[in-house]
Amino acid sequence: MEIPMIYYVVVSTVMFFAGVYGFVTRKNLLAILISLELMLNAVDINFVVFNRYLFPQQLEGFFFTLFAVAIAAAETAIAIAIIINIYRNIRNIKVDDLDKMKY
């Protein structure tokens, strides 16, 4: 177990900001959602890593990740339901076209 903690953290950072990039640039709602999952996942890694390396006696990070996964699942399900509903309505899931509630 001599892999330095910083390695994990750097990887998760790259993953997170890849997610940010995707979130900002993609037009497809599903792609945005994918980016979102990336970010969530990066955060999960951080929790786990910090738990393991910094407070190995406790399980806060572990459980946080566990619940985050559950919530992510729920959130994705709802998001996809909404996206499909939007698709039904406007035959399109481009985020730019969703301007009915603007202003």
Residues in CB range of 8: below 8 A, 6 or more apart: 45, 46, 49
Q: How far is the CB of 39 from another protein (least distance, A)?
A: 10
Q: Does 90 bind another protein (CB under 8 A)?
A: no
Q: Does 7 bind another protein (CB under 8 A)?
A: yes
Binding residues for another protein, rule CB under 8 A, total 77
Q: How far is the CB of 24 from another protein (least distance, A)?
A: 4
Closest to 37 (Cα-Cα) out of 72, 87, 82 = 72
Amino acid identity of 3? I
Number of Cβ atoms within 10 Å of the Cβ of 51: 19
In the region spanning residues 25 to 84, those forming contacts with another protein, defined by CB under 8 A, are 25-28, 30-35, 37-38, 41, 44-45, 48-49, 52-54, 56, 58-60, 62-63, 65-67, 69-78, 80-84
At residue 103, the 3 state secondary structure works out as: coil
